[in-house]
Amino acid sequence: MKPPASARESAILLVLLPLLAVLQTTHAQKNAIDIYSLTVDSKVSSRFAHTVITSRVVNKADSMQEATFQIELPKKAFITNFSMIIDGVTYPGNIKEKDAAQEQYSAAVARGESAGLVKATGRKMEQFQVSVSVAPAGKVTFELVYEELLKRRLGVYELLLKVQPRQLVKHLQMDIHIFEPQGISFLETESTFMTNELVDALTVSQNQTKAHIRFKPTLSQQQKSAEQEDTVVDGDFIVRYDVNRTLSGGSLQIENGYFVHYFAPESLSMIPKNVIFVIDTSGSMMGRKIRQTREALIKILEDLRPEDHFNLITFSREATQWKPSLVPASTQNVEEAKKYAKTLKAQGGTNINDAMLMAVQLLETATREEQLPSGSVSLLLLLTDGDPTVGVTNPSKIQKNVQEAIGGQYSLFCLGFGFDVSYAFLEKLALDNGGLARRIYEDSDSALQLQDFYQEVANPLLTAVTFEYPNNAVEEVTQDNFRLFFKGSEMVVAGKLQAQSPEVLSAQVSGKLPTENITFQVESQVAEQEEEFRRPKYIFHGFMERLWAYLTIHQLLERMVSASDADKNVLEKQALGLSLNYSFVTPLTSMVVTKPEGQEQSQVAEKPVESEKVPSGRTVFRHRAMGHMGPKLPGDSHAGRFVSVRRNLWGQAGVSMHAQVYDSPSERAEPPEIRFTSKTSPTAPPPAPIQAPTVILPLPGQSVDQVCVDIKRTPEPLLLLLSDPDQGLEVTGKYQMQKAQFSWIKVTFKNPQLQVRVSPEHVVVTRGRRSSEYKWKETLFVVMPGLTMTMDKAGLLLLSSPDKVTIGLLSWDGPGQGLRLLLRDTDRFSSRVDGILGRFYQGVLWGPPDATDDSKRTLRTHGFDYSATRELKVDYQEGTPGTEISCWCVEL
């Protein structure tokens, strides 16, 4: 018998992203379903991640309750096992061929049972869900296992865990073990839920080849954090890492009779590229889509190198080319193209066929007339948000026309904007022509999604890459030839060793540079490699065979997209056999979940494919956004987190910069406590609408006097605020005279390479070639070598390091709104610090008080004289109006 509706509303939800676990409960009655244990254990062996999620719950109510275990997996991951333990009895999930699973599902429906196919999909995830009724005092253990080969993207591998128990959990623990024989070159962690009360629960240990990250908060730590943040553990936990690399044939690793070859050589020069951007400007792109496309295109154009060539084609009812031929990416041409991009408007139909053929013709003409650099690489980048409606509208005909026109000479990359586009059409169009497709999700970060995709293919390093192994040593090798190798990516080849394998396995990798061919050699001692993977106790043994099967299945599925019907049947049979043999839930198999007698007897979990239109899980995600499962989708861009400090640190009139002063450069002392001040008292009337941006400069010294500096006017809109080469730090800003505020401030660190650009609307963090956009007022905690970034719910970003000056940034939207900058640990500035604010750290000298007004003095620093006036300010250091303080006000 089904529980009443009120009982069915009580659910436990566990959600995963690329190694992501979410657990959430909504209560039909207080403390009905209690999560008393939640563990996530991820073992990453040579990029292959094996993750086990175990959730133990108990029904504390006096009536039957329903517990729902819900998983959101990365799209490239395969579920390999699931089980429930109820009253000591194990109920497993059985992986079957899809037709067989469908028969069992249909039989359950015929019996009147609400067995459900699980197909929901989103930006990075797909759902798996099982529900079970739990008797009073009954306990259930859910355990799910999934596996995924981590892909190197823009120079890093990423593991993302989302932790949302939404209640105190007696045993809450995450363990991530990483083993990389090449050596771990870079490791960082990021969290959106970390608080001062939880920091001690996180431990990170690392040696040359291994790392262990553990998060295990006690009940007491969870309680204190909940009291501080008004919520329990709730958010993202991310681990990013990379491995050591050289200019070589890569890493050839062997375990249990299988090998995997990772290839990503360093120090190769980028090949000049010729790129044509084919941009949809039809009426359906109107509004935010076209605005974000313009924004992304302008940024992409700025990233072109002088040796590159490019052109733009826009299309709606007709196709229009910006220039009659490809042009060099000179400063003048790029600026002209950016102006053209700013004029793009959306109207009319969608003529994809003519636009693509025009683009190919441009490349053919340029190649024939030798207008392009020798050895350069030609790329086509198509962005569209809809199906063809003008000209040739049959998708198969367009695919055939484009493939015949390209003739294997160029690579085509397709971006589908939103869910009105036929993704299957774009995927085949790209795969037919040596490229790949990607869906761009309509969101606040769509422009960054476009930029990030472009960055993945913007820097070709090698063409025509081929892997060769001795025929008598290996068999059943995965894809071993590739058209292009891009900077920040990695090529992976796996295979079986022959029964009589040699003592040494060798490999040769060949490729083409612009002016020559290049060959790499690598070899590996078989017995030595086998022994290396036996030693670490936490390595998932036999993983390399599963890695080989995983990679083979994905490549077979990809080949099916462009295969003929006859070939498709052969490929499908091979992929199905591997899926069943290795117990992978793939698009060809399903998992049938059995339940105790008397409950809904079966549920079928399927591996969804990319939806044609709006995904089946779309409404579920929208419901979650309204609060049922949390305010953010797991696949979102981690929007709004890279900044930390209190929202109301500054008063209604904005913050004035203040500091202690000293009489000469030799009298530096420990910096005083940072104070935040306002020009009004708590009872003063509201200030004028426009307030000057103020910055706090805590100057080391011995004087009890304070200095508050306001930026009100400047002859140049672009300002160098701070520059310290010894710190590897630079802070710049764009000042708007008419608004008397900054439109953006940018902080750049050289080591580690990091750039943070903030505006009143958002924060953009760029590390290497990766950019992420964040909204203000969401928490974040990032630890990387040499730097920590935090942001709390108030929206103040702090960039700190044990040996660097701490930089704080805030977007203040109260009276006197604008960006605010604060500094801490300023005694760490070197003697070479400069900039309009940095000059205050070169030494401050004071003139005598004014003869007629002792509230006025002259301040001299770095050859500049300033008039300083004594004023009363309200201290906002603790986030609320405090006592008035007296300080010397200086205007810049």
Whole-angstrom distance, CA of residue 34 vs CA of residue 61:
10
Q: How confident is the model at residue 96, as a pLDDT?
A: 86
pLDDT band at 702 (very low <50, low <70, confident <90, very high): very low
Q: Are 353 and 391 in contact (CB under 8 A)?
A: yes
Per-residue pLDDT tens for 721-746?
899 999 899 999 888 777 777 888 99
**End-to-end alpha carbon distance in the chain:** 75
Q: Per-residue pLDDT averaged across 18-29, rounded?
A: 36
Provide the percentage of residues in the chain whose pLDDT is more than 70: 78
Whole-angstrom distance, CA of residue 324 vs CA of residue 312:
10
Q: How confident is the model at residue 538, as a pLDDT?
A: 61
CB neighbour list of residue 680: distance below 8 Å, 6 or more residues apart: 651, 652, 653, 686, 687, 874
Is the per-residue pLDDT at 482 higher than 50? Answer: yes
Q: Which of 602, 607, 608, 589 is nearest to 92 (CA)?
A: 602
Q: How confident is the model at residue 151, as a pLDDT?
A: 93
Q: How confident is the model at residue 764, as a pLDDT?
A: 85
pLDDT band at 700 (very low <50, low <70, confident <90, very high): low
pLDDT band at 384 (very low <50, low <70, confident <90, very high): very high
Whole-angstrom distance, CA of residue 743 vs CA of residue 733:
8
pLDDT band at 643 (very low <50, low <70, confident <90, very high): very low
Q: How confident is the model at residue 125, as a pLDDT?
A: 64
Is the per-residue pLDDT at 616 higher than 70? Answer: no
Q: Per-residue pLDDT averaged across 254-280, rounded?
A: 94
600-to-107, 113, 175, 604 alpha-carbon distances in Å = 12, 6, 34, 12
Please give the model's pTM, rounded to 2 decimal places. 0.77
Ramachandran assignment for 326, one of left (phi > 0), alpha (psi -120 to 50 degrees), beta (any other): beta
pLDDT band at 150 (very low <50, low <70, confident <90, very high): very high
Per-residue pLDDT tens for 550-588?
999 999 999 999 888 899 999 999 999 999 999 999 989
Per-residue pLDDT tens for 804-852?
888 888 876 655 567 878 788 888 888 888 888 888 787 777 777 777 7
Q: Are 60 and 34 in contact (CB under 8 A)?
A: yes
pLDDT band at 112 (very low <50, low <70, confident <90, very high): low
CATH number of this structure's domain 273-458: 3.40.50.410
Whole-angstrom distance, CA of residue 859 vs CA of residue 840:
10
Per-residue pLDDT tens for 202-240?
999 999 999 999 999 999 998 888 777 666 787 778 899
The three-class DSSP label of residue 675 is coil
Is the per-residue pLDDT at 535 higher than 70? Answer: no
Eight-class DSSP state of 212? E
Residues in the chain: 892
Eight-class DSSP state of 650? S
CATH 2.60.40: does it fit domain 251-268+462-561?
Answer: yes
Q: For residue 760, which phi and psi values (nearest 5 degrees)? A: -60, -20
Task: State the average pLDDT for the chain.
Answer: 79
Q: Per-residue pLDDT averaged across 302-306, rounded?
A: 92
Q: Where are the domains of the chain?
A: 251-268+462-561, 273-458, 665-891
Q: pLDDT higher for 360 or 620?
A: 360
Q: How confident is the model at residue 816, as a pLDDT?
A: 52
Is the per-residue pLDDT at 536 higher than 90? Answer: no
Q: Omega before 717 cis (within 30°)?
A: no
